[in-house]
Structure 1
Amino acid sequence: MNGPMILTLATLGAASILFVSGKVRSDLVAIGALLALMLGGVLTAEEALSGFSNSVVIMMIGLFVVGGGIFHTGLAKLVSSKLLQLGGASDTRLLIMVMLVTSLIGAFVSNTGTVAVMMPIVVSLAMSARINPGQLLMPLAFASSLGGMLTLIGTAPNLVITKTLVSAGYEKLSFFSFTPIGVVCIIAGILAMLFLRRFLPKEEEGGKDKQSGRSLEELAQKYQLTQNLYRVQVASDSAIRSKTLRELDIPAQFGLNIIEIRRKISAKNQFFKTINQEIAGPDTMIESEDIVYVNGSFEQVRQFADQYGLILLDQHAVERRFDVQVEEQQDGEQYATRDVGIAEVMLTPNSSLIGRFVKHSGFREKYRINILGIQRKEQYLLHHLKEEKMRFGDALLVQGTWQDIALLAADQSDVVVVGQPIEESSKVTMDQKAPIAAGVMLLMVLLLVTEIVPAVVAVMTAAVLMVVLGCVRNMEEAYKTVNWESIVLIGGMIPVSIAVEKTGAAGLLSDGLVSALGSYGPLVMLIGVYLTTSIMTMFISNTASTVLLAPIALSAAIQLDANPFPFLFAVAVGASMCFASPFSTPPNALVMSAGRYRFSHYLKVGLPLQMIIGVVMIAVLPLLFPF
C-alpha cells in the first residue's frame, strides 16, 4: 500500500471511531476528515469541495424546504390524521403502515425524495399518536431503500447493473424484474424492524421545557374559550356589509370580542379554493358571506346576529377548508393563525396596571392587543371585562399578532408574558395554503417519476415554488427548515469516497476478496460479492460502489461459468441495503437530526437489519436466478 492509501484508510478509521463514539458532532468529523485528506495531498482543493456542489447535496437542501412547506401549511397534519385513523393507537400498526406506504412510494420516486415528502408527515403522525418520532423516522428511511428494489427506476444501483448487463450483451432487465426481490426485502425488513425497534429512542431527550408556558390548546381549554366561541355569517342583505369594525364598535354595544374573520378566496379554481384568515382589526371591512368569529355569551351573540341580520351558525356547522372541518381543529388553533395568536400574561408586583379598569388599561392603544379573559385565583372572568378592575396576581389571556405579543414580552415593567411568542407562532400552520403545498408536492413527484427534467431541477423548482407561493413565509424561514448538519455531513463525506477510489483502496479490497473466494464455488462467491458491496457502501456512495463492483461481479461469474444475474443483483441489493451508517445514504442522513439519533442507533438497528437482509438475499437470489 502506498502513502496516500494508508492516509485515506487511517482517516476513514478515525472518522468511523468518532462517529461511533458520538462525542464529536458528525458534521465536524466530516470536515475534519476532509481537511486531513487535503493537507495530506490526497485530495485537491477542487476535489475536496466538490461534495458541496454535488447534485445530491443541492437536492437535499431543496427537499428540506419542500418538507418545511408541507409541514408549515398543515398538509402533513392532514395526511397524518388520515394515516392515524387507519393505524389507530397501535404502535405496531403505525410502524407497518408507515413502512408499507413509504416502500410503495419509493418504488417510483428516489429514496431521498420519498423521505423528504414523508418525513414531515411522519413527524406529525408521531406527535398526534404521542410517540417519539424516533420510533418511526429510521424505519421510514430504511423503508424508502427497501421499496427502491421494487422497480427498475427505484434506485440508481438498479440502473447501473442493467447498463452493465446490456453492455456485456445480456438481455435488458424490465421495469418489474426487480419486483420479486423487492417484495422479499420489504417483508423481511418490516418483520425485522418489529423486533429491532426496541433499540430506537423511546423518550424525548431533555424532557419538556418547563419555561415554555402552556400550549395554545392548553390555554384555550384553561380559559374555556371554545364554550364562548361562536360564528356568524354575513348575509347578502346584512346591515353591517361594507362597514369597518371601528364604525360598528361591537364590543361597546354588545360586550363581544371579534376574534377573526374568514373569507373565501380563489373561487374560480375549485382545487385551490381556500379560506383567508384575517385578524379582526379596527379597519377590517365586513363583506358578504364573511364568517365572523366572536367571543362572548350566547345571549349577546344572538342579539348581535338579530340586530344586523346575521346567520348564527351552529357550533358544529361544516366550514370546509381543503376537506378539513373546523371541529377537527385543536381548541387553540381556532384562536391562532400564522400572524395572530394568544398568550397568557402575569401582572408584575409593581405594575402600573394594578387597580385600573380593563377599559383604561391601554392594552389596545399601546400594544394593539385584546384581553380575552382574566384568571383570578380559581375564577375565570370572560364577560364584561371592560368594567373589571385588574388586581395583583391576575393572569390575563390576550390576543394579537405574534409580533405585538413579542413586543409586549419585551416590555416587562407591567406584565410578564408566559411562554415564547415567536416559537409558538412557528407552530401554527397556514392551513389555507395546504392545497397549494399539495399541488407543488404532486408536481415534484410527477417530475421525478417522468424524468422530464433532472431530479435536482424538479426538487429545486418545487422548493422555489413553496417560497414564492407562500407555503414557506419567506427565505429566512426557508433557510431555517434546512438541517445544515446533515448537509455538511454528506457534502464532507462525498469527497472522502473520491479519495477511496483515487488511491486504489476500493479496488484493492474488492479484487483481493473476490479472487480469494473464487475457488470455493458460486455460492461462496455470491456471499463475497454481497459482503464486499455492503461493506464498501458504508464508506462510499451506493452508486459509486455499484459502478466499481458490477464489472468485477460480472467477470467473476463468467470465470465460474455461472449465471451473472444473481451476482449483479447481489451488488444492487448490497449497495441499496446499507443501514449501518448515517452517511451511507441521503435518507439515513435526512432523518438523523429529526429522530435525535446517534451513530450507535444505526449500529444497533441498521447493522442487524443489513445483516438480516443479506442472509435472506443469499438464500433467495439463487432460487430466483439459478446459477
Structure 2
Amino acid sequence: MNPELALVLLMLAISMSLFIRGRPRMDVVALLVIIGLPLTGIITLQQSIAGFSNQAVLLIASLFIIGHGLVRTGIAYQMGDLIVKHAATSEIRLLVFLMASVALLSSIMSSTGVVAIFIPIVLTIAKRMQSSPSHLMMPLSFAGLIGGTLTLVATPPNMVVSAELARSGIDGFSFFSFTPIGLVILTLGIIYMLFARRWLGGSKPAAPAGERDTLSDLADAYGLTVRERRLLVLADSPLVNRPLNELELRQQYGINVIAIEHPRKFRRVLEMATKHSRIRAGDTLLIDLASPAIALAGAYEELGLEPRPLPISYYRIYAQQMGLAEVALPPESALPGKTIQELNFRSRYRLNVVGLRRQGKALPGLLVDEPLKSADTLLVAGTWEDINQLYGQTRDFMLFNLPAEIDEVAPAKDKAPFALLSLGIMVILMVSGLVPNLMAALIGCLLMGVFGCITMDSAYKSIHWSSLLLIIGMLPFALALEETGGIDLAVSVLLDSFGNAGPRTLLAVLFAATALIGMFISNTATAVLMAPVAIATAQAVDASPYPFAMTVALAASAAFMAPVSSPVNTLVLDPGGYKFTDFMRIGIPFTLLVLVVTVLLVPLLFPL
C-alpha cells in the first residue's frame, strides 16, 4: 500500500467515523473533505469541486422541487385520503394499498417525505380500525425504501450509480431499468409483511377515533387550549411601539406571543408574530402561556394588558390563516441537546414552537429550557404558507403531522392537475430519451413554476442542500481512491477471496458489503464509494458492468435491518412502538430475500 493510498484511507475512515458519530453535521464533513483532499496533492481543487456541476447532483436537486410541487398542490395528501376511503375496512387490503401507494409515490419523490406524510394517516386508520399501529408502521417504512428500487429517479444512489457508469464511458441506466426488479421486490415485500406483521410488537390496539387529526385535536393533545389567552393592549402599556424581540416576554413572564390582531375600520387583521413585530395600542395579542398554572394577574397590570374573551381556540377562529404542525427530529438532526429557546424557530422560519412530545406523551407546558432528545416531536404554529415551507428541510427536522385543514388551505391546491401534467411530461421525456434526464427534470420544474404549482422561494427552500453537499463531498473520495490505486486494491481483495466462486457469488458479496456499510453511513455515500468498485470488478472479470452496478444500487436501498439504517425507519420507530430488535428480526430475513432476488434476477435482465 503506497503512502498516498494510506492517507486517503485514513481520511475516509475519519469521515465515516464522523458520519456514524453524527458530529459534526454530514454536510460539514463533506465540505472538510472537499477542502482537505486537494491539500494532500492527490487530486486538484478543480477535481475536488467537480461535483457541483455533476449531472446527478443537479438532477437530484430538480427532483426535490418536483416532489415539493406534489406536496404544495395537495396531491400527496389526496392519495392518502383515497387509501382511507377505499381500503380502511380491512387490514389486509389496507396493507396492500398502503405499501403499493407509498412505493409508487417514493418512486418519484423523497421516501422520507412520503413516509412523514403517511404516518399520521396510518395512525388515524389504526385508531379507526382499533388495531395496532405496529402492524402498519414497519410496512410503511419498508414500502418507502422499496420505492427506491422502482425507477432511476426514485433515490439518489440510483442516480449516483448511473452517473458513475456514464463517467466510465458507459451508457447509464434508463428510467425504467430498475422497475422489473423493483416490482418483484415490492410484491414479495407485501406478501412478506402480510405474514410478518403478526410477529411485530405493540399488540395493544389504538384508541378509536374518527378522521385525520384536526387543529383542535393537535391543540388538545399538547394542552394548548388551557394555555391560550387573548389580551388587549391598553393605551398606557409599556409594550406600545416596541418590537417583540426587545420585550423578552417569554423569558420574564412565560408569555409567547403567537399572533397580533390589528383593529381596522370594519374588521381585524391578523399578523403572525415575528421578532420585528411592533405592538400598538388597541392591538389584541394571541398568546400561549408557558404553563396553564401560571398566575399572571399582576403581570397583566404591569404590562398594560387586559384579558379578552376567548370562547374557542384561536386556531379554530383563524384556521384559514394560521395552523399547527408536528415537526420530527430525524436521526441525522443536530438539534438534540439544544433547548427550544436556542432553536430560534421564530427568527429563522417565522414559526413558533408551542409544544413538545417525547415518547408519545406531550410534556406539560412549554419547557423552553428543556434539552431536546432524538425522536422528540415539536408542535409549531404559524401561517400555512410558512408551515409548507418546512417541507424538504430534512436535515435537522421535518414535517411529521399536518392536520386535516391543510387540505383546504394548500397554497396551490387548485393547481393539482397542472402538477400532474408537469410530472407526466417529465416522465415521458425521460422514458422516451428525447432529452437527457437532467433536461427533462428541469423542464418539469419550469412547468411547475409556469403553472403556479411552486414559487421560486419555495423551490429553493425545498432543495435538501445538505444531501447534495454530502454527494459532492464524497465524489472526490471515489476519484482519490481511483488515483491512488484504492479501487484496484479493493477489486483484487474481492477477486482473491471470491473470484473462483463465479460472478453470481461476486454479486452476492457486493450486495452484502453495500448493505452492511449502509447500516452505518448514508446509503448515498455508500453508493458513491461502492459504485466504482462494482464497475472495476466487472471489468476485471471481463463481465458487463450493468449487473454489478445494479446490485450496488439495489443494495443501497435495502436499509431494512436497523432503525438507524434510514430516516424512514427512525420515523416509524416511536409511532409503531418498536424496539431495535424488531427491525433486526423482521429486516434481516427480508434483506436476505432481496439479496436472493437480486442475484437471481439481475443477471437475467442484465446478462453477465
Q: Which TM-score applies when normalising by structure 1?
A: 0.53
Q: In the alignment, residue 6 of structure 2 is paired with which amino acid?
A: I
Cα distance between partner residues in 2 of 1:450 and 1:619: 28
Cα distance between partner residues in 1 of 2:198 and 2:69: 32
1:236-291 deviation line (CA, Å, top 9, x unaligned): xxxxxxxxxxxxxxxxxxxxxxxxxxxxxxxxxxxxxxxxxxxxxxxxxxxxxxxx
C-alpha deviation, 1:71, in angstroms:
1.0
**Which residue of structure 2 lines up, in the alignment, with residue 426 of structure 1?**
387
1:53-106 deviation line (CA, Å, top 9, x unaligned): 211221222222222221112122112211333442778765644543466688
**Alignment gaps of 5+ in structure 2:** 125-132, 203-212, 221-227, 238-260, 271-282, 287-304, 323-345, 352-378, 389-408, 518-524, 575-579
Cα distance between partner residues in 2 of 1:528 and 1:95: 32
**Which residue of structure 2 lines up, in the alignment, with residue 482 of structure 1?**
463
**Which residue of structure 2 lines up, in the alignment, with residue 491 of structure 1?**
472
Per the alignment, in what secondary structure is the counterpart of residue 369 of structure 1? Answer: strand
**Kindly tell me: are residues 134 and 452 of structure 1, through their superposed partners in 2, closer, same or farther at Cα, counting changes over 3 Å?**
farther
Percent same amino acid at aligned positions? 27
Per the alignment, in what secondary structure is the counterpart of residue 265 of structure 2? Answer: helix
**Kindly tell me: are residues 610 and 86 of structure 1, through their superposed partners in 2, closer, same or farther at Cα, counting changes over 3 Å?**
same
Cα distance between partner residues in 1 of 2:189 and 2:488: 30
Cα distance between partner residues in 2 of 1:485 and 1:201: 34
Q: In the alignment, residue 485 of structure 1 is paired with which amino acid?
A: S
**Kindly tell me: are residues 119 and 616 of structure 1, through their superposed partners in 2, closer, same or farther at Cα, counting changes over 3 Å?**
closer
**Which residue of structure 1 lines up, in the alignment, with residue 403 of structure 2?**
none
1:510-569 deviation line (CA, Å, top 9, x unaligned): 1232134334567655645655676798252665444323223435xxxxxxxx8xx964
**Which residue of structure 2 lines up, in the alignment, with residue 505 of structure 1?**
486
Q: In the alignment, residue 476 of structure 1 is paired with which amino acid?
A: D
1:405-445 deviation line (CA, Å, top 9, x unaligned): x9xx99xxxxxxx9843357635303222222222222222
Match for residue 441 of structure 1 among 395, 410, 423: 423
Q: In the alignment, residue 551 of structure 2 is paired with which amino acid?
A: V
**Kindly tell me: are residues 352 and 440 of structure 1, through their superposed partners in 2, closer, same or farther at Cα, counting changes over 3 Å?**
farther
Cα distance between partner residues in 2 of 1:138 and 1:41: 43
**Which residue of structure 2 lines up, in the alignment, with residue 21 of structure 1?**
21
**Is the 8 Å Cα contact of residues 52 and 492 (structure 1) preserved in structure 2?**
no
Q: How many residues were matched structurally?
A: 426
Cα distance between partner residues in 2 of 1:400 and 1:527: 54
**Is the 8 Å Cα contact of residues 138 and 569 (structure 2) preserved in structure 1?**
no
C-alpha deviation, 1:192, in angstroms:
6.2
**Is the 8 Å Cα contact of residues 175 and 430 (structure 2) preserved in structure 1?**
no
**Kindly tell me: are residues 182 and 444 of structure 1, through their superposed partners in 2, closer, same or farther at Cα, counting changes over 3 Å?**
closer
Cα distance between partner residues in 2 of 1:26 and 1:91: 39
Per the alignment, in what secondary structure is the counterpart of residue 416 of structure 2? Answer: helix
1:115-155 deviation line (CA, Å, top 9, x unaligned): 34x76555433332337998577534521343359xxxx96
Per the alignment, in what secondary structure is the counterpart of residue 230 of structure 2? Answer: strand
Q: In the alignment, residue 71 of structure 1 is paired with which amino acid?
A: V
**Which residue of structure 2 lines up, in the alignment, with residue 549 of structure 1?**
537
Cα distance between partner residues in 2 of 1:174 and 1:475: 29
**Which residue of structure 2 lines up, in the alignment, with residue 226 of structure 1?**
none
Per the alignment, in what secondary structure is the counterpart of residue 347 of structure 1? Answer: strand
User: Is 1:129 matched up with 2:122?
Assistant: yes
User: Is 1:573 matched up with 2:551?
Assistant: yes
C-alpha deviation, 1:159, in angstroms:
11
Cα distance between partner residues in 1 of 2:468 and 2:477: 15
1:334-362 deviation line (CA, Å, top 9, x unaligned): xxxxxxxxxx8602485789xxxxxxx98
Q: In the alignment, residue 508 of structure 1 is paired with which amino acid?
A: L
Match for residue 369 of structure 1 among 261, 269, 272: 269
Cα distance between partner residues in 2 of 1:160 and 1:92: 41
Cα distance between partner residues in 2 of 1:621 and 1:62: 29
Per the alignment, in what secondary structure is the counterpart of residue 24 of structure 1? Answer: coil
Per the alignment, in what secondary structure is the counterpart of residue 392 of structure 1? Answer: strand
Match for residue 115 of structure 1 among 109, 118, 125: 109
**Kindly tell me: are residues 190 and 395 of structure 1, through their superposed partners in 2, closer, same or farther at Cα, counting changes over 3 Å?**
same
C-alpha deviation, 1:579, in angstroms:
3.5
User: Is 1:40 matched up with 2:40?
Assistant: yes
Q: In the alignment, residue 535 of structure 2 is paired with which amino acid?
A: V
**Kindly tell me: are residues 442 and 450 of structure 1, through their superposed partners in 2, closer, same or farther at Cα, counting changes over 3 Å?**
same
**Kindly tell me: are residues 542 and 142 of structure 1, through their superposed partners in 2, closer, same or farther at Cα, counting changes over 3 Å?**
farther
Alignment of 1:160-171 (within 5 A): none
Q: In the alignment, residue 538 of structure 1 is paired with which amino acid?
A: T
Q: In the alignment, residue 462 of structure 1 is paired with which amino acid?
A: G
C-alpha deviation, 1:470, in angstroms:
1.8
**Kindly tell me: are residues 63 and 596 of structure 1, through their superposed partners in 2, closer, same or farther at Cα, counting changes over 3 Å?**
farther
Cα distance between partner residues in 2 of 1:498 and 1:504: 10
Per the alignment, in what secondary structure is the counterpart of residue 526 of structure 2? Answer: coil
Match for residue 394 of structure 1 among 291, 309, 313: 309
Match for residue 146 of structure 2 among 143, 168, 172: 143
**Kindly tell me: are residues 45 and 464 of structure 1, through their superposed partners in 2, closer, same or farther at Cα, counting changes over 3 Å?**
same
**Kindly tell me: are residues 464 and 140 of structure 1, through their superposed partners in 2, closer, same or farther at Cα, counting changes over 3 Å?**
farther
Per the alignment, in what secondary structure is the counterpart of residue 115 of structure 1? Answer: coil
Cα distance between partner residues in 2 of 1:176 and 1:481: 25
Cα distance between partner residues in 2 of 1:483 and 1:129: 26
**Is the 8 Å Cα contact of residues 102 and 144 (structure 1) preserved in structure 2?**
yes
**Kindly tell me: are residues 54 and 22 of structure 1, through their superposed partners in 2, closer, same or farther at Cα, counting changes over 3 Å?**
same
Which has the greater radius of gyration? 1
**Kindly tell me: are residues 184 and 68 of structure 1, through their superposed partners in 2, closer, same or farther at Cα, counting changes over 3 Å?**
closer
Per the alignment, in what secondary structure is the counterpart of residue 41 of structure 2? Answer: coil
Q: Which TM-score applies when normalising by structure 2?
A: 0.54
Cα distance between partner residues in 2 of 1:201 and 1:485: 34
Q: In the alignment, residue 455 of structure 1 is paired with which amino acid?
A: N
**Kindly tell me: are residues 521 and 433 of structure 1, through their superposed partners in 2, closer, same or farther at Cα, counting changes over 3 Å?**
closer
C-alpha deviation, 1:594, in angstroms:
8.2
Q: In the alignment, residue 537 of structure 2 is paired with which amino acid?
A: L
Match for residue 540 of structure 1 among 508, 528, 535: 528
Alignment of 1:202-281 (within 5 A): 216=215
**Kindly tell me: are residues 179 and 139 of structure 1, through their superposed partners in 2, closer, same or farther at Cα, counting changes over 3 Å?**
closer
Cα distance between partner residues in 2 of 1:426 and 1:525: 48
Q: In the alignment, residue 59 of structure 2 is paired with which amino acid?
A: M
Q: In the alignment, residue 426 of structure 1 is paired with which amino acid?
A: I
Q: In the alignment, residue 364 of structure 1 is paired with which amino acid?
A: R
**Kindly tell me: are residues 594 and 623 of structure 1, through their superposed partners in 2, closer, same or farther at Cα, counting changes over 3 Å?**
closer
C-alpha deviation, 1:42, in angstroms:
2.4
Q: In the alignment, residue 554 of structure 2 is paired with which amino acid?
A: S
C-alpha deviation, 1:47, in angstroms:
1.3
**Alignment gaps of 5+ in structure 1:** 168-172, 203-213, 222-343, 354-360, 375-389, 411-417, 556-563, 583-587
1:193-230 deviation line (CA, Å, top 9, x unaligned): 7799999999xxxxxxxxxxx96456999xxxxxxxxx
Q: In the alignment, residue 15 of structure 1 is paired with which amino acid?
A: S
**Which residue of structure 1 lines up, in the alignment, with residue 4 of structure 2?**
4
Q: In the alignment, residue 34 of structure 1 is paired with which amino acid?
A: I
Cα distance between partner residues in 2 of 1:626 and 1:54: 29
Q: In the alignment, residue 494 of structure 2 is paired with which amino acid?
A: L
